Structure 1
């Protein structure tokens, strides 16, 4: 093969090489892709609990139980994520332990990590009372547990109330109302469970304003733990806010006549 032919072959190969976009070799870019759990698409500030810490904002970890349930762990409890609204920064959640059986739920109050979440505005306060000593009390609604006897599902109960004295322990549970309180003295524990199953809404506090522009530029949102600030992971490396313009990924070689 002549020297001129070799030169033209080299130029052709170089031309083809630089027309192909660079592949996603930057490890954080590869590892921090959004993931789907059931019908929920999860992305920054949240991350899968098995992914590297830099994929999400500190404290916002979700688990995907068997590929169907999206779970949030917080303050010793697990919550099922029913719905996620990224535009409004809202999670609709419900306590996982009470979904199975309110009589076998964990006897602790529902408590948010106030540095990560706030309650949304439209919810009601309720209290589950367990192991109570007064079966004749007509209000609030009474249910029965096989092991601990009578319990009560009460709304807006103050600590000095009669139920706090009659029952051995209580659990605070917020919820979004789907029906009016029962008018009778008795209510089934399945009915209470269905009310709580509807869940309640919480808002996340983390600032995600930079993430939208990062995503639009072809990057994936993440967190720089060293600098404690947002980071945009692109195909080649991390940038403070957005990835370079796509035209920077190509190069053409022209040969002068």
Structure 2
């Protein structure tokens, strides 16, 4: 009798055990996603590199496409149009990030001459910036429409470099006065003193420039305020709020207006 009873209960016990294991695995996965995305990127001591950024110790699902950060020689960098930009600081409340061109870091004589190219689907220029235009291989430092008194040799390309903080009346490259021209944004407060003191040009470039992030910061704030961490759902290709119990579309409360529970798999 007891044997028959045990035999009849055995399938039920297996099912119960299987469900229990799956629940534990699911909770473990949610805990991992929540914990992973709670951590900022650990590189170079620059704080607050978190959502929408991902990379290094932050999984891909912790950020948005295009915002990958790589740690190069202990320097956090993002890449746009094959140009590396080093992250100098972040301002999550704006949200914004201050960056500097790696090829112009501590030098105004880069190996190649490429204009600053920003992906405007990810970033935007904030106010208070000025284009610092570098001209290379000029026949004269007296550029048409603007008298520049600064000139420095660049041994890497056998060219000299001069710069202007205001646009000339005509393009020196088009008119054949210079071989190349490159725009590098800097803070306007750093650009103004350059006309009186050209030797501070490298300091202005190394100070970088600010980029605003093209994200819905309110959406992430609401998620964090509810106890979650912000991330990305590759299945729905949209925002995801990782919570301790599961992932939600908005905040960590499945009964909240507009909140919808959804399953998010580890990548």
- Using the size of structure 1 for normalisation, the TM-score is 0.75
State which of 31, 48, 60 in structure 1 corresponds to 2:55.
48
1:97 Cα shift? 1.0
* Partner Cα separation in structure 2 for residue 112 and residue 85 of structure 1: 18
Q: 1:57 to 1:136 in 2, by over 3 A?
A: closer
Q: Which has the higher contact order (CA 8 A, sep 6+)?
A: 1
Which runs of structure 2 are paired with 1:193-212 in the superposition (5 Å)? 193-212=202-221
Q: 1:217 to 1:135 in 2, by over 3 A?
A: closer
Q: Answer with 110-119 or 131-140: which moved more.
A: 131-140
* Partner Cα separation in structure 2 for residue 203 and residue 98 of structure 1: 21
1:55 Cα shift? 1.2
Q: Which residue of 2 aligns with 1:79?
A: 85
Q: 1:159 to 1:28 in 2, by over 3 A?
A: farther
1:49 Cα shift? 5.2
3-state SS of the aligned residue for 1:29?
Answer: helix
3-state SS of the aligned residue for 1:97?
Answer: helix
RMSD: 2.6
Paired residues, what number?
A: 219
After superposing on structure 2, the runs of 4+ consecutive aligned residues of structure 1 that deviate more than 6 Å are none
State which of 170, 179, 184 in structure 2 corresponds to 1:173.
184
* Deviation by residue 1:160-211 (Cα, 9 ceiling, x = unmatched): 3346521111111111132523348xx45xx322121111111011113221
1:63 Cα shift? 2.1
The answer to whether the aligner puts 1:39 opposite 2:46 as a matched pair is yes
- Structure (1 or 2) with the greater strand fraction: 1
State which of 154, 160, 175 in structure 1 corresponds to 2:164.
154
* Deviation by residue 1:42-88 (Cα, 9 ceiling, x = unmatched): 21111125643321122112223344x22121121111111211111
Q: Answer with 201-210 or 28-37: which moved more.
A: 28-37
- Whether contact under 8 Å (1:45, 1:208) holds in the other structure is no
* Partner Cα separation in structure 2 for residue 103 and residue 136 of structure 1: 19
The answer to whether the aligner puts 1:64 opposite 2:66 as a matched pair is no
Q: 1:64 to 1:162 in 2, by over 3 A?
A: closer
1:23 Cα shift? 6.9
Q: Which residue of 1 aligns with 2:34?
A: 29
1:95 Cα shift? 0.6
3-state SS of the aligned residue for 1:92?
Answer: strand
Unmatched tracts of structure 2, length 5 or more: 1-25, 255-267
3-state SS of the aligned residue for 1:210?
Answer: helix
The answer to whether the aligner puts 1:116 opposite 2:122 as a matched pair is yes
- Using the size of structure 2 for normalisation, the TM-score is 0.72
Q: Which residue of 1 aligns with 2:109?
A: 103
Q: 1:159 to 1:95 in 2, by over 3 A?
A: farther
* Partner Cα separation in structure 1 for residue 179 and residue 138 of structure 2: 6
